[in-house]
Amino acid sequence: MQIYVGNMSYGTTEEAIEGLFGEFGEVSSVKLISDRETGRAKGFGFVTMNDDEAGKKAIEELNGKEYDGRTLRINEAKPREERPRREFNDRY
């Protein structure tokens, strides 16, 4: 199960999130999203857990919990929508 984790402190690490979710079951991966240009954290990421029941329990327990000074927003991740690529034109 892939889980969206939002509203994180910019200083939160993948290791810290793995430890937080590890209390509910085995975490197979953690990916915090950062800005391509600056490398600065964007304050959200994704956790993958092997056991769906453990993932649901983690969502239930952690959504709305304060962590690192921020109130986490946690829910089941939705598949990324395909967005059309931006095209730049020379009209301007």
Is the pTM higher than 0.95? The answer reads no
> Distance from first CA to last CA of the chain, Å, rounded?
46
- Domains defined along the chain, listed by start: 2-70 (3.30.70.330)
Tokens of 60: 């239930």
Are the C-beta atoms of 32 and 8 separated by less than 8 Å?
Answer: yes
C-alpha 72: how far from its chain's center? 10
| Better-scored residue on pLDDT, 20 or 39 | 20
CA atoms within 13 A on the CB side of 53: 0
pLDDT band at 88 (very low <50, low <70, confident <90, very high): low
pLDDT tens digit string along 25-46?
Answer: 999 999 999 999 998 999 999 9
